[in-house]
Amino acid sequence: MFVANGLKNDPDNDGWVLGWGVVRSAPWHLAGVYATKEVAEMKASEIGSNYEVRYGSHRLGSDDFVSGIRFE
């Protein structure tokens, strides 16, 4: 899984960073976390129509990604 360098730390969760995740809900797959929406959208379009771009928080070293906002 790709995680962009220089992502901002999540101020509410130690060890987590904020970014644009490329995710598939079922079965769960976090393809990567990117610094910009545009780059995340390009990656999502490359890997398949069942992937979505969401802004949220990612726990480094895991495939955990939490988002309350869905971007289409």
Residues 10-46, buried b or exposed e (16+ Cβ, 10 A)?
Answer: beeeeebbbbbbbbeeeeeebbbbbbeeebbbebbee
- How confident is the model at residue 68, as a pLDDT? 80
Rounded Cα–Cα distance for residues 6 and 26 (Å)? 29
Residue 69: per-residue pLDDT: 54
Q: What is the reported pTM?
A: 0.90
Average pLDDT, 10 consecutive residues per value, the chain (72 residues): 96 95 96 98 95 97 86 48
Name the residue range of residue 6's domain.
2-71
